[in-house]
Amino acid sequence: MKKLQVELFGSARRLAQMKETQIEVGEAATFRDVIVTLAKRFPAFVGHVISPEADSLIEPYFFNVDARRVVRDLNEIPEEGKPLLLLFVDAGG
């Protein structure tokens, strides 16, 4: 098992009532598995941040790795030790 630190923003932070959380996933887990784990930990995310099927994020949410790059492929395997940011695109003016 590997431990991943996930920082929460927007509605995810409000629904979880915390700024960050640590989750455990298998060594071969993908970002889709991270989503499933987050849906189990925070059921309130489903339908607001996470799709009803709990296999993808609802736009405008996305993962960012180590504040350096956006995750474009949810089948990618996250690296332990690199924080994940669960962000959202904020548009408007």
Does the pLDDT at position 26 exceed 90? yes
Q: What's the mean pLDDT in 9-15? A: 96
- Report the alpha-carbon distance of residue 50 to residue 32 in Å, rounded: 10
SS3 state of residue 45:
helix
Q: pLDDT confidence of 91, banded at 50, 70, 90?
A: low
Helix (H) or strand (E) holding 38: helix 31-41
Residues 6+ positions from 72 with CB-CB distance below 8 Å: none
When pLDDT is averaged across residues 68-78 and rounded to a whole number, the result is 97
- pTM for this structure? 0.94
Domain boundaries, the chain: 2-88
Pairing of strands 69-70, 20-25: unpaired
Q: Which CATH architecture has domain 2-88?
A: Roll (3.10)
